[in-house]
Amino acid sequence: MTDPHATAERILRRFARETNLLIAGRPVRVSAEEEDTATALAVAGMARALGALLVESEGPDVLDIDVQGDDAALALGGTPWGSRGDAGGRLDFARAHMPVSTALARELADAGTVAGLRIGVSMTLEPKTANLALLLRDAGAEVAVYAHPDETDAAVADALRARGVAVDADATLAGPAEREAALGWLRRGFDVVVDDGSHLVRLAHEAAPEVVAGWIGVTEETTSGLTPLRAMETSGVLRTPVVAVNDAATKTGFDNRYGTGQSCVFAIADLIENVDATVRDLPVLVIGYGPVGVGVAAHLAALGAQVSVAEIDPLRALLAAHDGYQVGHAEDLAQGALVISCTGVAGTITRELLSLAAMVAVAGGVPGEIDLELDVLEPVAVAGSRVPHLDVDVERGTLVLDRGGCINVTAAEGNPIEIMDLSFATQLAAIRHLLETRPAVGVHALPAHAVAHVAATAAAARGLEVDEDPATASSPGDADWRSRRYRDSRA
C-alpha cells in the first residue's frame, strides 16, 4: 500500500515545481473519493504544516487538490492546471502573480523617477527577475541584465531579449570569459545597479573603479552581499551608496523564511528521490539558524524530517531549541545525516563534516560553503543515465547535491513567484528612495515608511483586511500620555 504521506509530499512538490508558486498563505481545498481519504487527510495536514489555509469554498487564488490514487488533479482558481508553456509563457505567468511589484513600478512610472536612467540588474536570470527588468523598462529606464552562467536560464534570456531588454547573460561561458562578460556589462555604464550577492559591485571596485564613480548608487538583495559591503565601508574602500534591501522586513521576513525554505527543501526532496531517498524520517542537520535556517528547518519538519540545528550564536541556538529542534555540535549531529549549510559563509561544511554526512547541500548562497574540491566528484547514475545535480564525493562516499551550489537556484527555479514579488517590490521602493534622497556613500537601511508602503500594497493586493490602529485614530495632540495605573483620583 502506498504511504499517504509520501504521496502527499509528491503532490505538493509537483504543484510547486510546475507552477513556481508558494504554498504558505495559499487557500487550499482538498477533495477525494472515499478510498483516497487517508491520502487526502495527509495532503491537508502537510499543506497546513507548510502554512496553507484550508478552505471549503472556491476562490480566485484557491488551489484545488483532487486526490486520485497516487496522484491528484490540480486546479488554480477553478481552472484545471495545465502548463506555463514556453519561456515567454513562464514570464507572463509570473507577471500575473506579481501585483505588488507591478503596483510599485507603476508608481515609479507615474512619478517619472527612473525615466531616462540606466539601470543594471545583476541577478539569477529566471522569470521573476526578467519581470523586474521589464517593469523597470516599462517605467522608463534603460535596462541591461547580467547573470552568472550557472544562474542563467538560457530560454528566459532569449525571451527577455525578444522583448527588447539587453541581456549579457550567457549560460555557456566558463573561466576567464565569465569575468570578461561581467566586466563588459559593468562598462555599459549605469546610474543604478541592482545586485544580488554584491558580486558585480565588488568586481567593479576591484577591476573597474572608474564605472563606480558614475553610479548614483546600488540596491543589494542579500545578506551574503551586504556582509562584504559593510566590511568595505568599515575599511574605507566602499565608493557608492548602498540601500540594504535584504534588511527590510518585506524581504527577509518572507524571502528567506518562506521562499528559500520551500524552494530549497523541495529541490532537495526532488533530487534525492532519484536515489530512492525521502525527506520523511531522514535525520537532517541544519547549520545556521538565521532567517534561511529557520525557513529550511520549518519546511523540513513539515515534511516529516528529524531536524537538528548547529549554531555559533547562543541567541539563535536558543531560538532553535524553543522551536523544538535538537541543538548541538555539528560534528555530533552530522553522522549519517543530510547536512544543509544555511549560513552564506564559505567553509561551513568542513571536510570532517563531509566525512560524517550521508548527503550535503547548500541553501546559503556563496561559493565554497562546502569545503570541497570539485574534481573529487563523480556523477550519480541511475539505470545507466546520469542524474542531474547529483554527484558522489569519491573520497568519502558522500552524496553532494548540486556540486555545492545554492540548491534552489541552479537545481530549481528559485524562490516562489509571490515571494519574489514582495522582494522585488522592496527593490523598487529602494530604487525610488535612492534616487529621491541621493544618500552619502555607505550602507543605508530602507526607511520604515517605505517598507510599510510595500507591506500595505501587498496586503491590499492579497485582499487582507487590517484593523485601524487606535493610536492613529485621533490626532497626536489628543493622546493622553499620563499613567492610567497611578492616576490621581483627585484629578
Could you tell me which residues come within 8 angstroms of residue 474 by beta carbon, excluding any fewer than 6 positions away? none
Binning the chain into helix, strand and coil, the percentages to the nearest 5 are 45, 20, 35
What are the tens digits of pLDDT across the range 182-228? Answer: 999 999 999 999 999 999 999 999 999 999 999 999 999 998 899 99
Residue 103 amino acid letter: A
Which pTM does this prediction carry?
0.93
Residue 63, H or E segment = strand 63-68
d(CA 312, CA 327): 11
Q: Quick one: pLDDT at residue 437?
A: 97
With cut-offs at 50, 70 and 90, classify the pLDDT of residue 33.
very high
476 has a pLDDT exceeding 60: no
d(CA 363, CA 342): 5
Q: Quick one: pLDDT at residue 152?
A: 93
What are the tens digits of pLDDT across the range 167-176? Answer: 999 999 988 9
Q: Quick one: pLDDT at residue 469?
A: 81
474 has a pLDDT exceeding 70: no
Helices 99-111 and 127-138 pack at an angle, to 10 degrees, of 20
In the chain, what percentage of residues exceed pLDDT 90?
89
Which whole-number Å values give the CA distances from 113 to 28, 119, 141, 393, 450, in the listed order? 39, 12, 9, 51, 15
Mean pLDDT of the chain: 94
Region 354-371 average pLDDT: 92
d(CA 414, CA 19): 12
Q: Quick one: pLDDT at residue 2?
A: 79
Region 445-467 average pLDDT: 96
Residue 420 amino acid letter: M
Region 267-281 average pLDDT: 96
d(CA 345, CA 66): 43
With cut-offs at 50, 70 and 90, classify the pLDDT of residue 442.
very high
CA dihedral 14, 264, 367, 402 (to 10 degrees): -40
What would the grid cell of residue 16 be?
510547486
What would the grid cell of residue 218 be?
546600488
Which ranges constitute the DSSP H helices of 139-260?
154-162, 176-186, 199-207, 209-212, 223-235, 249-251
251 has a pLDDT exceeding 90: yes
